[in-house]
Structure 1
Amino acid sequence: MNKIAMSLAVLFSSAPLFAAQGGALLLPDAADIARQCQQTISHAKVKIAALEKLPLAKVNAANTLGEWNTINQDLDRFGGPAGLLSEVSPLAPVRAAADACNLKMSALISDVLQSEALYSRFKALKPKDAIDAEARADLLSNFEDRGVNLSKEKRTELAAIFNKIEKLQQDFSRNMRDNQARISFAAAELKGVSASFLESAKKDAAGQYVLGFDYPEIDAVMGYAENEATRERYYSGRMKIGGAANLQILKEVVELRKQIARLTGYPSYAAFAIRNKMAATPEAVNTFLADVQSRVADLEKSDIEELRQEKARFTGKADSVLKRWDVQFYEEQLKASRYQLDQKQVREQFPTEPTIAWMMNVTGTLYGVDFRPNAQLKTWHKDVRAYDVFDRGSKKYLSSFYLDLFPRDGKYKHAAAFPVRGVSTLSGQTPVSVLVTNFSREGFNQDELETLFHEFGHVMHGVLSKTRYTMQAGTSVKRDFVEAPSQMYEEWARRPEAEALFNETCPSCKPIDPKLIAKMDEARRFGLGLKYARQVLYSAYDMALAAADAGDPQAVWQAMEGKTPLGYVAGTEFPGTFGHIVGGYAAGYYGYMWSEVLALDMLSAYGSNVMDVKQGKRYRELILENGGQRPAMELVEEFIGRKPNADAFFQEITGQRGAAAKTAKQ
C-alpha cells in the first residue's frame, strides 16, 4: 500500500477527486483535468504567497497549521484525478491527462517545500498542544527533506532531481499498468488449469489461449499448469514485463538518489530516507534483516527440499531439481497431498459477493460501524461499487469508500488502498478511500482472501480516522508502521470467531467447513521459510540500491538472487517489475516485516477472541482514529500496555505461532 506522507506531496498524488462532503467523486474527462489542474495550482499559489507574507510575530496555530490545512483541502479538489484516475480510469486519454497533472503538482511541491518564508513561519510556531507539535515537526521535516536549508544553487538542483524522479516513477508505473504483453498456449500446454478459467480466457485465430499477466492468470498458470515448459515460459515472460525501459528507469532513479544524498549531506540515500522512520538508521534495518535471515535460512532449504521431493514424486524422476517456476505449482501439489487442500474448494467456500458482505459484517461488528451501499455515487467503471460508513451508535455519517476489485486493461496491476481524501476534524472534511485489486471473479482463494482483509485494513485506517489535520489523516504514518494495521487484519480472515459470522451473513451459502479452515491454516504454515527468505532478499536488494556504492540494478539483482538456494534465472529482469522501490517504498521495503512485528504484537491484545468488540472499540479509537497525529510507538505501547517485542513475529516466520496455539488448545 502506498501510504500518505505528511506533506503536500501526497495530497497531490493520492488526494480526492472532489472535496465535497459525503463520498461523491468528480470524474472529469481529459480536457477538464488539464483545465482544472491549472486552476487549482494557480489558486493554491495565491494562498501560499499570502501565508509566506504572514508577519512572524503573528504566527499561531490557526493562521499557519489551520491555513495549511485549508490549502491542502483546496488542492484536494483536484489532486485526486492525478492520483486515482491515472491508475484506474479505463480511458487512456484520462490516464495521460492525470499523469500530466501529477507532474505539474510535483513541480509545485518542489517549489513550496523549498520556501524559506514558509519554513520560517512553521519554525516560529509555538504549538498549543501535542497534536500541533507533531504536525509542526512533520512539516519541518518535509521542508528539510526538500533542502530548504541548502544554498539556492543546491535547492534548485535538488528540486530538478525530485521532479525528474517523479516523472521516472510515473513512466515506470505506466509501463507496467499499460503493458500489453501476452503469451499464447495450446490447450495441451495448459493441462491442469481450471476449466472454468479457460472457458473465459481469450483465444487467437489459431485457437490458442492468449494469456496476460493479471493475478488471476498468474495463479491459474503458475499454480496449476502441469507442463513445466509452460510454467517456465510464463514465468520468464512475467519477469520481463517492465522491459528494458524500466531497467533503465530504475538505474536512473538510483543515480539520482545518490545525488540527493550528496546534496543533503548524508552518506547514502538509505541514511537520508530512513532517518525519520521508526528504524532511524540503515544499520538498524540491516541488523533486523540479518536476524530474520538467520532464522529462516535453514527453513528455506527445508521447504525447497520438500518441494523437490514433491516434484520427484509427480514427475517420477528421483533426481529432479526444483526451479523457480516450480515453486507455486508444487506448493499447491504438496498442500493437496499433505493437507488435502485444494484452492478450488477454497474458492467454492468463499464466493465473491457473500465473502465481501461477510468481511463487512465482521468489520462493522468489530468497530461498531455500518456500511451502506450507495448506488447514487458515480463511479469510473461498471464493476466499481460505493459504500457510505455510519457509526452504529450515533447513526452519524463518517466517510465513504469504493471497491474496484477485478482486473481490466490499463488498470493498476496489484492491490492497494488509495486514501483519496483525508479527514480533518478542524474543517469537518470527511474521508474517502478506494480499494483497488485484481481478484478472480470465481471466488477467493486463500491468498486473495488474506489480501482482501489486508487492504480493507488500510481502508479502515483511512475512513475511520479522526485527525485534526488532513496531513496526518489515516495512513499518514511512518512508512515502517503503515502496514501494521493491515497486516494485523489478515488474522480475521482465518479465525473461527470471525468465520462464525459467515453463515449469519449468507444463510443460503455453503456453511463454513471447520475442517477446511483447519487445513487452510495448516497449509499456511508451510513455505514460510521460502516466503520470508524472499522478503529478506527484496528488502536487502532495496537497501543495496539505496547504499552509497549502489551498482547497476540488474547486475546487483543477478548477484544477490544468484546467491540464494534457487539461484537466478537467466534472462529474467525482476527489477524492472519492482514498482515498490521506484515509488514510495525506496529504502523502506523492509517496513513490511518491521510492521508485521508490531502487527502481531498488537494482535495479542485480543487474546483468543479477535471479535472482542471492547478491544475493537479501543483499537478503533486509539490506532485508527489517531492516524499520524500521535507517534506510532506511543500508540502501540498504549494499546498493548507494554513495550512491543518481536516474539510473535519470530514464532510466525518459523511456523510456530499457529502450531503452538493449536497445541495449547488441544
Structure 2
Amino acid sequence: MKHFYLSILLSVVVVDLRGAELKTVDDFRAAAAKANAVLTIPDWEQTPEAVDAAMKDAIAKANKALDQIGAQDPGKVTFKSTVVALDDLTYEANLEANKATIIKEANTNAAMRTAAENAVKIFQEWAVSIDYREDVYKALKAFADTHPKLSGEDDKLLLETMRDYRRAGLELSPDKRKEVEQLRKELSKLGTDFDTNIVNAKAPVVFTKAELDGVPESFFASPGVKTGDDAYTVTANVTWQFIAVEENARSEATRKKLYVIHDSLAKDTNVSVLNQMVVLRNKIALRLGYKSWDDYQTETRLAKTAAGAKSYIDNLVAGIQPKFDAEVSTLQKMKAADTNDPNARIGVWDWRYYTNQLNKQKYAVDKEALRVYFPFQKALEGMFNIYQSIFGLKFEKITAPYKWIDDLQLFLVTDSASGEPLGMFYLDMFPREGKFNHFAEFEIIGGKLLPDGKYQRPTVALLCNFPPSSTDKPSLLSHSDVETLFHEFGHALHSIVTRAKYGRFSGTNVPRDFVEAPSQMLQNWVWDKKVLDTFAADYRDPSKKIPAEIIKKMNDAKLANAGVIYRRQFAFASLDLAMHDQHPENGPYDCVAISNPILEKVFLPIDPSTTFVSYFGHLNGYDAGYYGYAWADAIAEDMATVFEKAKDGYLDKQAGSRLRHEIYEQGDSRDVTLSIEKFLGRKQSIEPFLKKIGIGGD
C-alpha cells in the first residue's frame, strides 16, 4: 500500500568523522559511507522529454517489484517479502515524484513545468491504482493472517499498511472497490489542477501614487512596481506586495480593491474544480462507510474523529469571543475616527491596516521600520547559527551541480559532535514568474534504511517568496517573514535529522494535526530578545540592536491582537470542516456559499463577490485538516515551556538535544503522543496555548 512517508528510530553506528575538513560533495559522500549511510544529490531532468521518461521508468520499475510481491506462494510470504518490499518500492517511486513536484513548482521553463505537472498526474493515478492490486493485497493479507509477533516500528508498519488497505476499500465487494478507485483517481487529477490554477493565477493591479498613500517609499523602489509616470503595479498574487499595501495604504478603497482581487484569485477556474473535489471526497467517504470526509480524514490523526476536531475549534471560537469582540471594537473606533463615520465597521480589508496603526500608535511598533534589523542574509545566517548550536549541527554551503535558478543555494548538514553527514537542503528564496507562490518545505529524498543495510540521508528544499533586494537596499524581511523563515526551516530539520527505519515513518510524515507543532514552537524564538540579539541588527549600522523596550512592545502588541489573528485561523478551520461535513451523496456543493458566511460569522465582514476558497491552497492537502494548525499550536506552546524553563531559555542546548532526539528523529516511528510526552517529561497541557492567545492563565 503506497504511503507518503513518516519516521522511526534507527540504531546507527556513530563514527567520529571530524578529523578532516569536508570540502566537496564527494568528501561528504565518503564520510557518509564511513557511517554506513548514503548521501545523494538528485539527478535533475533538464528536458520535458526526460521528465516524462524518468517518471515512466520509475513506475515500470515499481510495477516489476509489485509483480514479484504478488507472485509469491501465500504459504511462504515473509515480513520482508511483503510489507517491507512494498515500503521499498513506493519509496523509490516517490523519489521521482518528489523531483517532478519541485520541477513543477520551481522550474523557470514553462514547458518543463507543464511536463512535470503531467508526470505528477501520471504518478498520482498510478499511486492510487497500486492500492487495488489484488495480488499484492492478498500476499500482504496472507502474511498478516499469520498473526506474526512483531514489535516497534515493524509492527506499526504492518498494522498501518493493512489499515490503509481497509481505508482504500479492499474489504469491499469488487464492484464497489473499483468505484472507489475511480473516484480517487479523478480526485487526484483535480487536486493537481487546483494547485496549478493557484500557481497560474496572476493579478497585476495598477494604482496611482496617491492611491497608495501610506505605503513605504521602499515599496516603490522594488523591481517591477513602477510601470509608468504615475502608475504603480501591485501584484495581488505576490504575498509580500499584497500585505505591504493592506497594512499601510490609507485609502480604504485601495485596500478593498486589492483585497477583492486577491480573494477572488483563480475564481474562474478553481470554484468549479473545488466543488467537484468536495463531491468526490464525500462519495469516497460514504462508499467506505464513513459519515463524512471529515470523519475519514481525522481517523488517522490525533483528533481521531470529526466531532473531536469540530468541538476543539468551536470551543476556541467561543473562548476567544470576548477578546475578539474587544479588539474589533478598538479597531472600529479607530476607523470611525479616520472616516468620521460613527457606524464604521471593520471589514476583512481593514484588519491588517488598523492593527498596524494600533501597533504604531499604542505600542510604538512600526513593522516597516523594523525591517532594517532583518536583512535576509543576516537573518538566514543568524538562524543557522542558532539551530546549529541548540541542535548540535553544522551547515556547510556547497555549489549545486545543477541549478534551476541562479541564486539557488545548497547546504550539507552534519552532526557537529561526530561529523556524521545527515543530509542536504536547497534554498530557493525569492519570487518569480511561474514559481510556487507561498512558503513551504518539500521533501526530495526521504530518510530510510535501504535494503543493503545502508541509511539513505534526506535531501529537501525550501521554496519561499521573501521580498527581493532593490537597487539600493538588500532584501529586508519583516518580523513576520523572519518568523516564517524559522518555521519553515524547522520542517527542513525535522526531515533531515530523521533516524527512520522506514520511508513511511521518516521526517515530517507524521499526523497532519501534529506536523506543524515543532515548527510553530520555533516561531517563539523570534520574539525573544536574547535570541534576536544574536543576529538582528540595523544593516546600516550593525552595532544597533532592537531596543529591549521595542521587543517588549512587540510582544504586548502580539497579545493585544491575538483575538483577531486567531479568530481568522479558526474561521479557516471552521469553513474547511464545514465543507467536508456530512452531506447528501447526490447533493450539489457550492463551496463559496458554504465558506463565505462562515468567514463573516467567525471572522469579519467580507465582500460577497469574493471566493476566498478558490485560492486557499490548503484545501488540497490539508483538506478536513486545517484545524490541525490550532491543534498543533496547543502542542507547540506546551513544548516551548521546556525551553522557557531551561537554563539558557530558547538557546538551551540540552533542551535542543531532547527536541532533536525525542521529536525530530522519531517522526512517526512511535505514537507521536508518546514522543511529545517524552520530550515534555509529563502529560500534555493546553494551558500554555490558552495563555498565549489571552484566554487563560494569569
Larger deviation: 569-578 or 228-237? 569-578
Instruction: Tell me, yes or no, if structure 1 residue 346 matches structure 2 residue 401.
Output: no
Given residue 102 of structure 2, which amino acid in structure 1 is its aligned partner? L
Which residue pairs with 1:237 in the alignment? 261
Q: 1:437 aligns with which of 464, 476, 479?
A: 464
Instruction: Tell me, yes or no, if structure 1 residue 483 matches structure 2 residue 516.
Output: yes
2:5–2:503: 8 Å Cα contact kept in structure 1?
no
Given residue 513 of structure 1, which amino acid in structure 2 is its aligned partner? P
Q: Distance in 2 between matches of 1:453 and 1:466?
A: 22
Q: CA deviation at 1:189?
A: 0.7
Instruction: Tell me, yes or no, if structure 1 residue 283 matches structure 2 residue 307.
Output: yes
Report SS of the residue matched to 2:253.
Answer: helix
1:103–1:163: 8 Å Cα contact kept in structure 2?
no
The superposition leaves residues 375-401 of structure 1 with CA deviations (integer Å, 9 ceiling, x where unpaired) of 134221123211110100011111001
Instruction: Tell me, yes or no, if structure 1 residue 638 matches structure 2 residue 681.
Output: no
Instruction: Tell me, yes or no, if structure 1 residue 88 matches structure 2 residue 106.
Output: yes
Larger deviation: 56-65 or 246-255? 56-65
1:300–1:533: 8 Å Cα contact kept in structure 2?
yes
Instruction: Tell me, yes or no, if structure 1 residue 386 matches structure 2 residue 410.
Output: yes
Report SS of the residue matched to 2:426.
Answer: strand
Give the TM-score of the pair, scaled to structure 2. Answer: 0.88
Q: How does 1:18-57 map to 2 (within 5 A)?
A: 21-57=39-75
Distance 1:638 1:121, change over 3 A: farther
Q: 2:637 aligns with which of 600, 618, 621?
A: 600
Q: Distance in 2 between matches of 1:524 and 1:504?
A: 21
Which residue pairs with 2:151 in the alignment? 129
Given residue 311 of structure 2, which amino acid in structure 1 is its aligned partner? T
Which residue pairs with 1:663 in the alignment? none
Q: CA deviation at 1:151?
A: 1.8
Q: How does 1:185-224 map to 2 (within 5 A)?
A: 185-200=207-222, 201-204=224-227, 207-213=230-236, 214-224=238-248
Instruction: Tell me, yes or no, if structure 1 residue 544 matches structure 2 residue 578.
Output: yes
Which residue pairs with 1:589 in the alignment? 626
1:422–1:430: 8 Å Cα contact kept in structure 2?
yes
Q: Distance in 1 between matches of 2:298 and 2:632?
A: 14
Q: Distance in 1 between matches of 2:543 and 2:408?
A: 24
Q: 2:484 aligns with which of 451, 454, 477?
A: 451
Q: How does 1:367-386 map to 2 (within 5 A)?
A: 367-386=391-410
Q: 2:549 aligns with which of 515, 539, 542?
A: 515
Given residue 279 of structure 2, which amino acid in structure 1 is its aligned partner? E
Q: Number of residues paired by the alignment? A: 645
Q: CA deviation at 1:606?
A: 1.9
Q: Distance in 1 between matches of 2:496 and 2:149?
A: 27
Given residue 518 of structure 2, which amino acid in structure 1 is its aligned partner? P
Which residue pairs with 2:206 in the alignment? 184
Q: CA deviation at 1:651?
A: 1.0
2:512–2:625: 8 Å Cα contact kept in structure 1?
yes
Given residue 182 of structure 2, which amino acid in structure 1 is its aligned partner? A
Identical counterparts, % of pairs? 28
Distance 1:153 1:622, change over 3 A: same
1:422–1:471: 8 Å Cα contact kept in structure 2?
no
Which residue pairs with 2:344 in the alignment? 320
Q: Distance in 2 between matches of 1:478 and 1:134?
A: 14
1:269–1:547: 8 Å Cα contact kept in structure 2?
yes
Q: Distance in 2 between matches of 1:615 and 1:184?
A: 50
2:637–2:689: 8 Å Cα contact kept in structure 1?
yes
Distance 1:512 1:396, change over 3 A: farther
2:484–2:523: 8 Å Cα contact kept in structure 1?
yes
Q: CA deviation at 1:564?
A: 4.2
Which residue pairs with 1:14 in the alignment? none
1:403–1:436: 8 Å Cα contact kept in structure 2?
yes
Distance 1:628 1:66, change over 3 A: same
Relative CO higher for 1 or 2, CA cutoff 8 Å, sep ≥ 6? 2
Q: Distance in 1 between matches of 2:695 and 2:362?
A: 16
The superposition leaves residues 458-510 of structure 1 with CA deviations (integer Å, 9 ceiling, x where unpaired) of 11111111100111110111111111111111111222332343279999464
Q: CA deviation at 1:559?
A: 2.6
Given residue 439 of structure 1, which amino acid in structure 2 is its aligned partner? F
Which residue pairs with 2:664 in the alignment? 624
Give the TM-score of the pair, scaled to structure 1. Answer: 0.92
The superposition leaves residues 586-637 of structure 1 with CA deviations (integer Å, 9 ceiling, x where unpaired) of 1111000111111111122223412111111111011100111111101111
Q: Distance in 1 between matches of 2:695 and 2:353?
A: 21
The superposition leaves residues 490-536 of structure 1 with CA deviations (integer Å, 9 ceiling, x where unpaired) of 11122233234327999946434323322221221122111221222
Q: How does 1:354-369 map to 2 (within 5 A)?
A: 354-369=378-393
Larger deviation: 291-300 or 58-67? 58-67
Which residue pairs with 2:177 in the alignment? 155
Q: How does 1:250-289 map to 2 (within 5 A)?
A: 250-289=274-313
Given residue 306 of structure 2, which amino acid in structure 1 is its aligned partner? P
Q: CA deviation at 1:114?
A: 1.8
Q: Can you give the 5+ residue segments of structure 2 that lack an aligned partner in the other structure?
A: 7-36, 469-474
Larger deviation: 557-566 or 82-91? 557-566
Q: CA deviation at 1:58?
A: 3.1
2:212–2:250: 8 Å Cα contact kept in structure 1?
yes
Which residue pairs with 1:15 in the alignment? none
Instruction: Tell me, yes or no, if structure 1 residue 109 matches structure 2 residue 149.
Output: no
Q: Distance in 2 between matches of 1:107 and 1:635?
A: 34
Report SS of the residue matched to 2:427.
Answer: strand
Q: Distance in 2 between matches of 1:645 and 1:629?
A: 23
1:480–1:588: 8 Å Cα contact kept in structure 2?
yes
Q: Distance in 2 between matches of 1:382 and 1:518?
A: 40
The superposition leaves residues 256-283 of structure 1 with CA deviations (integer Å, 9 ceiling, x where unpaired) of 1111022111111111111111111111
Instruction: Tell me, yes or no, if structure 1 residue 647 matches structure 2 residue 687.
Output: yes
Q: Distance in 2 between matches of 1:539 and 1:192?
A: 33
Q: How does 1:554-593 map to 2 (within 5 A)?
A: 554-564=592-602, 566-581=604-619, 583-593=620-630
Q: CA deviation at 1:20?
A: 7.7
Q: Distance in 2 between matches of 1:535 and 1:297?
A: 13
Given residue 313 of structure 1, which amino acid in structure 2 is its aligned partner? A
The superposition leaves residues 318-339 of structure 1 with CA deviations (integer Å, 9 ceiling, x where unpaired) of 4433222111011111100111
Which residue pairs with 1:16 in the alignment? none
Given residue 576 of structure 2, which amino acid in structure 1 is its aligned partner? D
The superposition leaves residues 32-51 of structure 1 with CA deviations (integer Å, 9 ceiling, x where unpaired) of 00111111111110111101
Q: Distance in 2 between matches of 1:585 and 1:390?
A: 32
Instruction: Tell me, yes or no, if structure 1 residue 68 matches structure 2 residue 116.
Output: no
Q: Distance in 1 between matches of 2:91 and 2:615?
A: 34
Distance 1:497 1:524, change over 3 A: same
Q: Distance in 2 between matches of 1:320 and 1:159?
A: 52
1:358–1:505: 8 Å Cα contact kept in structure 2?
no
Q: CA deviation at 1:293?
A: 1.0
2:579–2:595: 8 Å Cα contact kept in structure 1?
no
Report SS of the residue matched to 1:95.
Answer: helix
Distance 1:530 1:504, change over 3 A: closer
Distance 1:127 1:652, change over 3 A: farther
Given residue 440 of structure 2, which amino acid in structure 1 is its aligned partner? A
Report SS of the residue matched to 1:502.
Answer: coil
2:291–2:582: 8 Å Cα contact kept in structure 1?
yes
Report SS of the residue matched to 1:372.
Answer: strand
1:115–1:148: 8 Å Cα contact kept in structure 2?
no
Q: Distance in 2 between matches of 1:452 and 1:656?
A: 29
Which residue pairs with 2:507 in the alignment? 474
Q: CA deviation at 1:129?
A: 2.4
2:295–2:305: 8 Å Cα contact kept in structure 1?
yes
Which residue pairs with 2:30 in the alignment? none
Q: CA deviation at 1:142?
A: 2.2
Q: Distance in 2 between matches of 1:637 and 1:377?
A: 42
1:472–1:628: 8 Å Cα contact kept in structure 2?
yes
2:319–2:695: 8 Å Cα contact kept in structure 1?
no
